[in-house]
Amino acid sequence: MENKTVYLNGQYLPLNEAKVSVLDRGFLFGDGVYEVIPSYSGHLFHFQEHLQRLENSLAGISLANPHTREQWLDILTPLLDANFDQYIYLQITRGAASKRDHAFPENIPPTVFAMCSAIVPIAGLSNGVKAISMDDTRWKFCNVKAITLLGNILHRQEAIDQGCAEALLIKDGYVIEGAASNVFAVIDGVLCTPPKGHDILPGITRDVILDLARKNNIPCSEDKIPFAALQKANEIWVTSSTREIIPIVELDAMPISDGKPGPVWQAMNQLFQAHKQALL
């Protein structure tokens, strides 16, 4: 195991010395939230937006934010290495109470953990990947970035078991998002993505893409996408902080258009890479 330095409850420790109690509510109940923030050459990408989402997630589970944004930046900065593209994983749980009880404990400090990992480009992602569609079996607060990810894990594993990279989740006949990504489709020349709400995680990458589309006159819409329209889309992409923009070239064993990444993806990927560079 790589013995890098991690942050736990006010201390910087080697990973193999960072320990939490078995009574921690993250371990017992999945009672916590997390964030994933990319860092390019030591610069945290859209830090304020990630921190805003963290604040929203904490409010969504009635857990106080233990730190100001300035304190978070001070905590995270020593974990970064400017020589690599990395991502910060940070997690806050409701802490370790003296006994297991569903009700929120009183006067217990939260458990705060953060570590940094390399972003390893996955070979072939830009050639496109395969996806399956599945009924969305998750809970009703998908806008909260909760550590309770069993639903997402089971969806992603089903995709992997079927030789695919992602599961696109369908609810009431509409595509919602991926197991660990947001979804975009190019339909009749318009870049479409489902609207924000309780059904999806409000992805930071999603917002960056919409902003880039609007600034570059790429027609776009935030509207519900019927599954039947998705199946006939010219392009489908999934987006996330660690994988950026990945074209889906096959859905449920059927090719999307000619089975190759499309021109709107090519254009958006270039805009996205240029946007990353411009922030350095």
Ligand X SMILES: Cc1ncc(COP(=O)(O)O)c(C=O)c1O
Which of 57, 91, 182, 193 contacts ligand X by CB under 6 A?
Answer: 182
Give yes or no: 145 in active site: yes
With contacts defined by CB under 6 A, name the span among 19-27, 81-89, 200-208, 215-223 that binds ligand X: 200-208
With contacts defined by CB under 6 A, name the span among 82-90, 179-187, 189-197, 216-224 that binds ligand X: 179-187
With contacts defined by CB under 6 A, name the span among 119-127, 154-162, 175-183, 260-268 that binds ligand X: 175-183
Smallest separation (angstroms) from ligand X to the CB of 205:
3
Taking CB under 6 A as the criterion, which residues in 207-266 touch ligand X?
239-241
Query: Between 93 and 239, whose beta carbon lies closer to ligand X?
Result: 239
Q: Give the x/- contact pattern for ligand X in 44-83, rule: CB under 6 A.
A: ----------------------------------------
Q: Which of 80, 72, 175, 83 is nearest to 131 (CA)?
A: 175
Query: Between 51 and 97, whose beta carbon lies closer to ligand X?
Result: 51
Rounded CA gap, 182 and 62, in Å? Answer: 25
Which of 90, 116, 201, 218 contacts ligand X by CB under 6 A?
Answer: 201
152 binds ligand X (CB under 6 A): yes
Smallest separation (angstroms) from ligand X to the CB of 17:
28
Rounded CA gap, 173 and 99, in Å? Answer: 43
**Chain residues that interact with ligand X, rule: CB under 6 A:** 36, 152, 177, 180-182, 201, 203-206, 239-241
The catalytic residue positions are 145
